[in-house]
Amino acid sequence: MTDRELFARPALSERLWLLRALRGETIGGVLLLIAALIAIVWVNSPWGDSYIALGDYTIGPAALGLDLSLSTWAADALLAVFFFVAGLELKHEFTRGTLSRPAQAAVPVAAAIGGMAVPAIIFAIIVAASDPGALQGWAVPMATDIAFALAVLAVVGRGLPIALRAFLLTLAVVDDLGAITIIAIFYSKGFSALYLVLALVLLGAYWLLQRRRVRSPWIYVPLVIVTWWAVFLSGIHATVAGVALALLTRAKMSPGDDEMGVVTEPPVDRLQRMLLPWSAGLCVPLFAFFAAGVDLRSTGLIEPLTSPVAIGVLAGLVIGKPIGVVGTAWVVARFTRASLSPAIGWRDIGAIGLLAGIGFTVALLITELAYSSSPAQLDAAKVAVFTASVVSALLASGVLLARNRHYRRVALVEEADADGDGIPDVYQRPSSGDAGPGAPRTD
């Protein structure tokens, strides 16, 4: 095996795509936090019963099996859009981004797997010893909330190198794929082979339309809606439809992507650009609003946190996530004889590991699925997700703030644009593939 550099500067085209994706997710993270805070304050106020009644309000055509509560619509329909966007980002990474080259994909993929496995193991060990009946929530601490994590970065880690931001995004997207796979396998209920076959036929039709370069929304919108409906009635969680459709979306350019002779962008990038504001700005905050409302009026905050479920979730996210992410990344780097980019140190990877402990959106979804029949365990797990996310955010903020002076020095080199052409100067030098002349060295 040969030496190679981890977390090197991304190509200019990839940098532009990453900055757009990260900007949208950051704004969504702020809105997510606002929505969650409104829900928590409302449900624990004297008007808390009205919040609960709102979430239970049923709407939709009963003849189609869609007479669902608003909270169910948020979890099954709005999050399907979120997972569709996450799937598009994953498809981009697989075909044109960091995951398109096996040597570069090894570390983020391994780190994501380690960041899912270690928290689940810690949770299982803690809960099995004291409350084996609650083990169905073993997947709760596996998820990372990219929007929440990027909102933290926007406050305390503005100068974090783009390569590390890309690592966090890739880590979270692979994490989402793992989570949705686990949901499909372990948390699906009432399986119907007939509707599953229908869903597969519709997915095949979507794939064929993509191959034929069909672009009309008048065809795709009804097809996507019916596909989601078929997956929902199949018993598989409806959010799986979002990821499946995204992974079948075409990611390569073709002459059919020209508009009046001007090459635009492939469907994967075009849809991601169009839908990210809706996903981050509307779908995820609304889900957080309906999922985050934990009624603590009768129990208080301390009682739920003392349950084995809560302790398992807390330990899994706060301790297991950074150990899994950093430990696995270090092992893979040692095995492949890879070295870090000169501007990045392992303490920076540690900060990303701590940020990965911010589990919110998908963690709340799995919590709802795992403990839907046990209100006490449901509330305990939700409180633990909130608490662990805040603790992880504070710990990561401490590490990032301690490194901000170094990040500012790196940013002076990476973002300098002396000729004012909108392209960082480091991309216009013969050595633009490395850390760049003058990039500060770190330990």
Domains assigned to the chain? 4-188+237-428 (1.20.1530.10)
Query: pLDDT tens-digit profile of 294-323?
Result: 888 777 778 888 899 999 999 999 999 999
Average pLDDT over residues 104-125: 90
- Residue 440 is predicted with a pLDDT of 43
Query: pLDDT tens-digit profile of 3-40?
Result: 566 666 777 777 777 777 777 778 888 898 899 999 99
- Three-class SS of residue 227? helix
The residue that leads in pLDDT, 339 or 276, is 276
- Residue 434 is predicted with a pLDDT of 41
Average pLDDT over residues 135-158: 85
Q: Which long-range contacts (CB under 8 A, 24 or more apart) does 192-200 make?
A: 192/233, 192/234, 192/235, 193/234, 195/230, 195/231, 195/233, 195/234, 195/235, 196/230, 196/231, 196/234, 196/235, 196/236, 198/230, 198/234, 199/227, 199/230, 199/231, 199/234, 199/236, 199/241
Give the pLDDT band (50/70/90) at residue 416.
Answer: low
Question: CA dist 389 to 143, 288, 363, 392, 395, Å?
Answer: 11, 14, 10, 5, 10
| pLDDT over 80 (residue 105) | no
Q: If you average pLDDT over every residue of the chain, what do you get?
A: 84
